[in-house]
Structure 1
């Protein structure tokens, strides 16, 4: 990085993501997952999994188990039916966040509810040291399009911060046992936004990852659709992202992120801000 105000940007294009069409499941993997393994894309900061899934109606992931990860889903369209070994049964629609701190272990199933495909991002994060074997916990949060319109809306924040409530359902971000903050945004054409990153204890700055949701339909080819320009507020390169594209961001300690919707349609994206 040339200065503390710059951001090094490494694109992760839609065509570079691992993808698979299983019929009932159409999926993309940003990081190594299942049968996909790439040592260059194992994880980033505390971010371990970023899958963009489309599940056909009345199908889904049968009961399976997890432990020692923080796992949350961001529902984009359709309805996601969740059941787990803690007794939680829920149907989640667009804008919902379903957070599971798996801790010592849980079993759950995730299926498309009703007659429509469900489209969602599933995200895994590594827990803070010493918190991977805690008691499992489950939380839900709900964010409307208006909540995210033309702003960085905080949807997930560390459980040890003052930003969250540890109630099962509440206003504000879902708690996560990780040093990760997730933001969602729905930006109109012509809008520019600036994000000030959370203060870092690392003198070299922070890590972040940005992902543009692929809303117009399953496309394993070259990215198309929206145009989101991404760069530092003060100095450094600017790149353009389209649906399904993402970028690794190495953030100087004084840098702020600027994003601009340079296209003709609204753009939906997720930003992960990490130590």
Structure 2
């Protein structure tokens, strides 16, 4: 079963310095039909104005992943980490017993455009941790590059959940296939461009929930960027 979640149907919060689209219920946006998918709880597509950002705020018991699409995001946290995240980089933060952090657009002229992703952990009260890695275009072009996993294999970032996240860039006409194991589920999030998933057309901002379908065929109708979640 393939269920399309159109970008135009997402929740939206536009407060001037931040324009955020919510795939699932978040903050003041509530839709009981869209509370998450499997362990995937949040996918927010955020655009942050130059020189603005989220001040210090706290999280606990959540696996938080940032994926920058354009621009740069400055991160600081109570664990002592301070970094800049740019396109091609993936950041994870296991909030565990509690962590405070801030996220800021350090540019005076450019927007930062990113996805904020939350995955519910498989255990509570773990020690907070932070990691960040760069995955160059050539490692993602025409293939599914594992960037997040439960065991950190293949130079991926580790999270506390049975979930795999793959990143890919597809040129127009390129096709890749992915085989889901029995009783696994998938979520496809299109970051840029347009592609077909088993003949379902999916465009930038769209998401697709996949259950009871093991063979996934992805073909780019236009140059595309995507994230594929393999979930228990």
Query: 1:163-182 alignment to 2 at 5 Å?
Result: 163=153, 172-182=155-165
Q: Deviations over 1:224-249 (max 9, x none)?
A: xx331002xxxxxx210111111111
Aligned to 1:52: 45
Shift of 1:162: 6.0
Change (3 A) 1:118 1:36: same
Tell me the TM-score normalized by structure 2: 0.96
Unaligned 5+ runs, structure 1: 1-7, 165-171, 216-225, 232-237
Say which one has the larger Rg.
Answer: 1
- Off by >6 Å, runs of 4+ in structure 1: none
- In the other structure, the counterpart of 2:231 is 274
How many positions carry a matched residue from both structures? 231
Match of 2:215 in 1: 256
Output the CA distance in 1 between the equivalents of 2:19 and 2:152.
38
Contact 1:208 1:251 in 2 (8 A): no
Unpaired runs of at least 5, structure 2: none
The within-5 A match list for 1:24-173 is 24-115=17-108, 116-128=110-122, 131-158=123-150, 161=151, 163=153, 172-173=155-156
Within 1, Cα distance between the matches of 2:53 and 2:138?
29
Shift of residue 196 of structure 1? 2.0
Which structure dedicates a bigger proportion of its chain to strand?
2
Give how far 1:18 is off.
0.6
C-alpha distance 152-32 of structure 1, shift in aligned 2 (>3 A): same
Which secondary structure does the structure 2 equivalent of 1:183 belong to? strand
Residue in structure 2 matched with residue 195 of structure 1 by the alignment: 178
Q: What is the TM-score normalised by the length of structure 1?
A: 0.81
Deviation at 1:92, TM superposition (A): 1.1
